[in-house]
Structure 1
Amino acid sequence: MRVVLAGGGTAGHIEPALALADALREIDSAIGITCLGTERGLETRLVPARGYELELVPAVPLPRSLTPQLLTVPGRLAGAIGVAGGILDRVKADVLVGFGGYVATPGYLAARRRGIPIVVHEANPRPGLANRLGARLTEHVFTGHPDTPLPNAQYIGIPLRRDIVNMDRMALGDKARSYFGLESDRVTLLVFGGSQGARSINKAALDAAPRLREAGIQVLHVIGPKNTVEKEPPPGDPQYVILPYIDRMDLAYAAADFVLCRSGALTCAELTAVGLPAAYVPLPHGNGEQRLNAQPIVQAGGGIMVEDAELSADWIIETLLPILNDPERVVAMSEAASRMGRKDADVALARKVLEIASK
């Protein structure tokens, strides 16, 4: 059987696709898997690193308003559909699974023309343009949020990496902290802003660094590969470790007691799967989906939320620091976050894909 996965651009599209690929191979190692991506997305690094075949399709961004660029879309989209169709023909695809992003639209349309079954997975509560189109071309639509408004939608959760969902965070904690140069007996705050980092989160955390250190809190701070900091905290105890990017997020999660982060769908799914409480800072622009991602977790007691405009060093010191200094509250929030987690979406979706393809 040959399965083609279409999802690229951000880790939020790519990681669920790769988690599904891993689950399919676990069920049947003979399954052929090809990933569609664009040359500008993170997939050019992440997909080959995980051992899967990557085929590139031209990116065709769809303008959200009437601009001269809109006139060029039909021709460019036709070219992208042709490239995607050639890949489907060459690998003799039995099914196409789309996760959204620029590459999904030509994938969906090329598969529809060939009568290849289409499966759509939408991670967010507010679906993007590509998956809104894809959901009109198939009855096989699965979502990572129970309230996503797509036709034929079935809530299944977000496929996650096995090395994350199978991780025993407590058992791995000492090893993980040693891996990052942290002490084993300190309360640890993990700070990150998604795959590209977030400047507002970076600034607030760095400005609060002296007070966090005074309170005995050590920090593992992932600033993002494209970001720099003007002034790093001086060496001292507790540690304040700054890294541009972390490939081993399982170890970062194992090292942490609490997280300060954005609230992308993948981040929320991973943190609840491993039982990590967080202070969520929804992205201040876009369609508001990040607030919707974190809201159920916060309501269940597994996290707190702060608006990006309100995030500052003072907020960290006045609101977050008292929580970090209250072990019983951190444990209660961890248990609440864990109750919201779903660990089996990768296997559940893999079985659905195989069932659909076999028909």
Structure 2
Amino acid sequence: MSGTESALSIVVAGGGTAGHIEPALAVADAVRAARADTRITALGTARGLETTLVPARGYTLELIPPVPLPRKPTVDLLKLPTRLVRSVRRTRAILDAVDADVVVGFGGYVALPAYLAARRGLLRRRTAIPVVIHEANASAGIANKIGARFATRVLAAVPGSGVRNRGAQDADVVGIPVRASIADFDRAGLRAQAREYFGLPAEGPVLLVFGGSQGAKSLNDAVSGAARQLAEAGISVLHAHGPKNSLTVPQFSDAAPYVAVPYLSRMDLAYAAADATICRSGAMTVAEVSAVGLPAVYVPLPHGNGEQELNAKPVVAAGGAVLVSDDGLTPDYVADDVVSLLTDSDRLAKMSRGAADVGHRTAASQIAGIVLDIAAKNRSAHENSRGNR
């Protein structure tokens, strides 16, 4: 399109958890990098992390009423129709106000109202707005399964997620979009800077431990319980225990310190400092850890629908990670199996290659290209339609 034409307008819907927000923002960043004049609007709710994360990345956030989708018959299920209509109406008003050319959804509470608000005929909408859906998890959520039935394009992180396009074909596999700092990551090149930043020794193995934004008590207990054995093996630890948890660990070795912090604001440097990680296996975590080629011990959440275990399995199959159950991660396991891993440089190198082989560094730019193409075609079609009236 020429510079005299109006900017395209793209709406991203991925609120609630970081697993929905980060892919949305990664695509938004890639869209902006490809075409700086694009108008980008993010949808969210007042209860989600997006109220902090979206403005911090420089994007406009519009709030809509949340629509939880109960998995079991409850009182909330009876309230669902009213909540959904209210949320769809508010979302439609936003789409009209920003003259949206395409809606890009990543699942969660925010996505379903966005998909429905974009449909032709619903609440008297005369023309449809194209919808692009991305499913990050190995097991698709309800919102994306519904939206995929009328979406223009359906994308997924891995094969067999259960989300299909209008022709009942599996989604196109593109991986999970990760932020540019991860996509362009040089783990070896940042190693010295990263270790100095966290006060870790320049040489010797480092174990990174984190359990998501709130931490994970089982990970905290297992790794801190093996602090002595880790130190005696010369392994330093960088451990994000979560802002609501407290963790005091004795220092058993000045040469191999145990650095415990509530939260890691520089995950890129944390990845660079480490030789392996123990962490949960949410879709975004697996995407980033794999993209940077970091060997992992994945410990899926013990509840839910088992999607975290499914997220990790492709990396395990490629030799880039091992999978341990939540109750299987004990101080003894860390003292034996994890110490054995961190002191075997050949095995670490092999796992690093395996993780990198399944990582997708270009997913954000690939999705951005798809979205911009659909948006441009939709804008052109509308302008031609107006010109023929």
| TM-score grouping bracket, smaller chain normalisation | over 0.9
> Partner amino acid for 1:276?
L
Report if aligned partners of 1:206, 1:233 keep a CA contact under 8 Å in 2: no
Match of 1:36 among 43, 49, 68: 43
* Residue 140 (structure 1) aligned with residue 158 (structure 2): no
Equivalent residue of 2:226, what SS?
Answer: helix
Equivalent residue of 2:294, what SS?
Answer: coil
Q: Root-mean-square deviation (CA), in Å?
A: 1.3
Report if aligned partners of 2:300, 2:326 keep a CA contact under 8 Å in 1: yes
Report if aligned partners of 1:13, 1:101 keep a CA contact under 8 Å in 2: yes
Which residue in the other structure is 1:337 paired with?
355
Equivalent residue of 2:200, what SS?
Answer: coil
Distance 2:244 2:92 in 1: 34
Which residue in the other structure is 2:136 paired with?
123
Match of 1:49 among 50, 56, 60: 56
* Residue 26 (structure 1) aligned with residue 33 (structure 2): yes
Equivalent residue of 1:185, what SS?
Answer: coil
> What displacement does 1:68 show?
2.1
> Partner amino acid for 1:108?
Y
Which residue in the other structure is 2:101 paired with?
94
> What displacement does 1:76 show?
1.4
Report if aligned partners of 2:228, 2:252 keep a CA contact under 8 Å in 1: no
> What displacement does 1:225 show?
2.6
Report if aligned partners of 1:10, 1:195 keep a CA contact under 8 Å in 2: no
> Partner amino acid for 1:28?
R
> Partner amino acid for 2:362?
D
* Residue 233 (structure 1) aligned with residue 253 (structure 2): no
> What displacement does 1:212 show?
0.8
The normalised TM-score by structure 2 is 0.89
Which residue in the other structure is 1:110 paired with?
117
> Which whole-Å deviations, capped at 9, do the CAs of 1:296-341 have from their partners, x for residues lacking one?
2112111111111111111111111111111111111111111111
Distance 2:263 2:353 in 1: 28
Match of 1:9 among 11, 16, 21: 16
Matches within 5 A, 1:232-311: 232-234=249-251, 236-237=253-254, 238-311=256-329
Equivalent residue of 1:310, what SS?
Answer: coil
Which residue in the other structure is 1:163 paired with?
181
> Partner amino acid for 1:80?
S
Q: Give unmatched runs, 5+ long, in structure 2.
A: 1-7, 166-170, 378-389
> What displacement does 1:137 show?
2.1
> Partner amino acid for 1:84?
T
Distance 1:328 1:68 in 2: 56
Q: Give unmatched runs, 5+ long, in structure 1.
A: none
Match of 2:197 among 179, 197, 218: 179
CA 1:79–1:255 in structure 2 vs 1: closer, same or farther (change >3 Å)? same
Distance 2:113 2:13 in 1: 9
Equivalent residue of 1:354, what SS?
Answer: helix
Greater shift after overlay, 248-257 or 133-142?
A: 133-142
> Which whole-Å deviations, capped at 9, do the CAs of 1:188-209 have from their partners, x for residues lacking one?
0000112222111111111111
Distance 1:40 1:224 in 2: 20
Distance 1:235 1:80 in 2: 55
> Partner amino acid for 2:162?
P
Distance 1:62 1:303 in 2: 33
> Partner amino acid for 1:35?
A
Match of 1:63 among 64, 67, 70: 70
Match of 1:75 among 72, 82, 88: 82
> Partner amino acid for 2:257?
Q
Matches within 5 A, 1:219-230: 219-229=237-247
> What displacement does 1:140 show?
0.9
